[in-house]
Amino acid sequence: MNTSSSEQKWQRRKEDRPAEIMTAGLRIFADRGFAATRLEDVAEAAGVSKATIYLYFASKAELFAAIVRDIAVPRFDEIEKLLDAYDGPSADLLSFVMDRLRDIATTTQLPALAKIILAESHNFPEIRAFYRDHIILRGFGNLSRILHRGIEHGEFRPCNVEAAVQSIIFPILMNALARNTFGELPQLDPDGFFAAHAEFVMRGLAANREA
Amino acid sequence: MNTSSSEQKWQRRKEDRPAEIMTAGLRIFADRGFAATRLEDVAEAAGVSKATIYLYFASKAELFAAIVRDIAVPRFDEIEKLLDAYDGPSADLLSFVMDRLRDIATTTQLPALAKIILAESHNFPEIRAFYRDHIILRGFGNLSRILHRGIEHGEFRPCNVEAAVQSIIFPILMNALARNTFGELPQLDPDGFFAAHAEFVMRGLAANREA
DNA sequence: GTCTATATAACGATAGAC
DNA sequence: GTCTATCGTTATATAGAC
C-alpha cells in the first residue's frame, strides 16, 4: 500500500483524521449495521490503524453517534434558524420543512442509520438514548412548533399536535426505510409520494373554512 | 417439565407441535432478532429437540415466515372478506380497517417481527421476499381497494392512491415500531395517537364539498 | 531533542466450532 | 462443555513535526 517512492509509514494529519474515519464508518455502518461492522475494517478504509480511531472517538458507539450527529445537527440547526426568523404563512413554512425532510431522507444516509437504531439499539442502549434525545425529540419539537404556530394563527385546525407530528413525519421516514429495505418497489417511488403526502398533510391540517 | 406421574420422556403430539414451536419461536425471535435466535433455544422453550423443529419447518427462515404468516394471514383474510361483502360508506369501511390495523399493531407481535425484517433482511433475502409479497403488497392492495372505491363513489377526493396508502399505514406501523424501540415516550402514547391519526386521514381524503 | 500522532501488539470478553 | 478465533479496547513503542 505504500507509494513507491516514499518509505514513510504514516503522516500526522490530526485535522483530517476524524472526518476520514467518520466517512469510512458511515459507509460500513450503513452497509452492515452496527454489530457486524468491525472497527478494523473502518480503520483500513480510513487508512489508519484501529488504535487511531480511539484517539478521536471513545468507543464504537461514540463513533456511531458522532456520524449521526454530523449528518443531523447541521440540518436541524438550519431548520431551527429558519423557524426563529420566519414570519409568513404557516403552511408555507411547513411545506418548506417537509421539503428539507425529503432531501434528508433521499440524499443522506440518515434513513440507513435510523434503521440501525431500530434494529440494534436493543443491544446498545447508548445509541438509543442519543438518537431519542437528539434526533427524535428535537425533530418532533420543531414540527410541533410549526403546528402550534399555525393553530394559534388560525391557519391550521386545532388538533392533537403530538399525533399530527407523527402523521406527518412517519410516512416520510418509513418510505425511506422501506425503499432502503425493499429496493425500488414502484409503489414507493419518492417523486410521486412526497408531493402527494404534502397535499394530504395540508388537507389534514386545514382549518375549517366556515362562513 | 414432566408431570410427576408419567415416566414418558416424550409424547406424540403431532397436532400440537407446530403451534408450540411457533409460539416459542415468536417470543424468542421478537426478543433477540433473527440472527441471534438459536433454534436450540426455540427447541428448549418448546420442549422439543432441535431435530423436531426440522420435522415441521424446512429452515429457520421458513419457521420465521410461518410465524409471520400465522399472525398476518387470518387478519388479512378477515379484512378481505369484509371488503368483498361491504356495501356502506367508504369512510366507515376505512375507519373499521384502520381500527383493525391498530389492534394488530398494539396487540400482536407483528411490529416486532416487522422490525426484524427491516433490520436483518439485508442478510436474509428469503424473509424479505416473503414479507414484501405477502404482507406489504397485500396490505397496500387492500387499502388501495378501499381508496379507489371511495374515489369512484365520490366520497374521497381523487388522489395518488399509492401515496395515500403510505400516508395512512406508515404512521400506524412506525408508531408501533417506535414504541417497541424507545419505550413509552409520552408522545407515542397510542390512545391519543390513533384517534387523532384517523381524523387526520379522513380530512386528508375528504372530497371537496362544493356548491 | 522534545512532544505527540500513530502503529504495533497484547489483553480480555464473548461467541462459535467441534 | 471445552477450545479457539475474533473483535473491542488498551498499553507501549516509534516515527514525524518543530
Average pLDDT over residues B125-150: 91
pLDDT at res. B98: 96
Question: What's the N-to-C CA distance of chain B in angstroms?
Answer: 72
pLDDT at A27: 97
Q: Which CATH class, in words, describes the domain spanning A62-205?
A: mainly alpha
Give the residue-averaged pLDDT of A71-85.
96
Residue A129: the pLDDT is 84
User: Which pLDDT score is estimated for A1?
Assistant: 39
* Residue A133 DSSP label: I
Question: What is the mean pLDDT of the segment spanning B138-151?
Answer: 96
pLDDT at B12: 60
What are the pLDDT digits (tens) for A93-107?
999 999 999 999 999
Tens digits of per-residue pLDDT, B65-91?
Answer: 999 999 999 999 999 999 999 999 999
For testing contact with chain B, the best of A134, A142, A169, A187 (most B CBs within 10 A): A187
pLDDT in tens, B6-52: 455 556 666 678 899 999 999 888 888 887 788 888 888 888 888 89
Higher-pLDDT residue of A156, B5: A156
Residues in chain B: 211
**CB neighbours of residue B126 within 10 Å:** 14
pLDDT score of B3? 41
Which chain A residues are closer than 8 Å to B173 by Cβ? Answer: 170, 174
Alpha-carbon span A140 to B7, nearest angstrom: 60
Q: Looking at beta carbons, which residues of chain A come within 8 Å of B204?
A: 200-201, 203-204
Give the three-class secondary structure for A116: helix
Choice between B28 and A209, residue whose per-residue pLDDT is larger: B28
Q: What is the mean predicted confidence (pLDDT) over A165-175?
A: 97
Please tell me the predicted confidence (pLDDT) of residue B70. 93
B203 and A CB contact within 8 Å? yes
pLDDT at A152: 97
CA distance B6 to chain A (A): 41
B201 pLDDT band (50/70/90 cuts)? very high
Q: Compare B114 and A3 and report the one with higher pLDDT.
A: B114
In chain B, which residues have their Cβ closer than 8 Å to the Cβ of A129?
Answer: none
Running DSSP on this structure, what letter comes out for residue A85? H
* Rounded Cα–Cα distance for residues B74 and B155 (Å): 29
Angle CA B202–B206–B208, to nearest 5: 160
Q: How far is CA B134 from CA A6, A103, B92, B98, in A?
A: 59, 30, 25, 19
In which band, very low, low, confident or very high, does the pLDDT at B125 lie, cut at 50, 70 and 90? confident
H or E stretch including B202? helix B190-205
Q: Where in chain A is the domain with CATH 1.10.357.10?
A: 62-205
Q: What is the mean pLDDT of residues A140-163?
A: 97
Percent of chain A with pLDDT over 70: 95
> Chain A contacts of B142, Cβ < 8 Å?
none
Please, which pLDDT band fits residue A124 given cuts at 50, 70 and 90?
Answer: confident
C-alpha cell at B29: 425471535
Of residues B130 and B15, more confidence is placed in B130
- Nearest-CA distance from A198 to chain B in Å? 10
Cβ–Cβ < 8 Å for B183, B175: no
B166:A188 CB<8 A = yes
Q: Quick: pLDDT tens for A45-56.
A: 999 999 999 999
- Contact of A181 with B121, CB cutoff 8 Å: yes
Q: What is the pLDDT of residue A93?
A: 97
For CATH 1.10.10.60, list the domain ranges present in chain B.
1-57
Does residue B128 contact residue B63 with C-beta atoms inside 8 Å?
A: no
Give the range among A59-63, A160-164, B2-6 with minimum mean pLDDT: B2-6
Tell me the mean pLDDT in the region B99-123: 89
Q: Which distant-in-sequence residues (6+ apart) come within 8 Å of B180 by Cβ? A: B111, B112, B115
Q: What's the mean per-residue pLDDT of chain A?
A: 92
Which three cell numbers mark B200? 387526520
Q: What is the pLDDT of residue B210?
A: 53
Instruction: Give the pLDDT mean for A25-34.
Output: 94
Asked if A190 reaches chain B (Cβ–Cβ under 8 Å), the answer is no
Q: Does the pLDDT at position A210 exceed 80?
A: no
Cβ-count burial of A210 within 10 angstroms (0-12 exposed, 13-18 middle, 19+ buried)? exposed
Q: How far is the CA of B69 from the C1' of C13 (A)?
A: 39
| Range among A166-180, B8-22, B57-71, B106-120 rated most confident | A166-180
Neighbours of A175 (CB within 10 A): 25
What is residue A183's predicted lDDT score, i.e. its pLDDT?
83
Provide, in whole angstroms, the distance separating residue A52's CA from nucleotide D10's C1'.
12
Nearest Cβ partner for B119 among A115, A195, A200: A115
> What is the CB-side half-sphere exposure of residue A3 using CA atoms within 13 A?
5
Predicted model pTM: 0.90
pLDDT of B9 reads 59
**Is A55 (CB) below 7 Å from strand C?**
yes
Give protein residues whose Cβ lies within 7 A of nucleic acid chain D: A 8-12, 37-40, 50-51, 54, 58-61
The DSSP line for B118-139 is HHHTTT-HHHHHHHIIIIIHHH
Greatest Cα pair distance in chain A: 83
pLDDT for residue B120? 80
Judge: domain A1-57, CATH 1.10.10.60: yes
Helix (H, G, I), strand (E, B) or coil at A156: strand
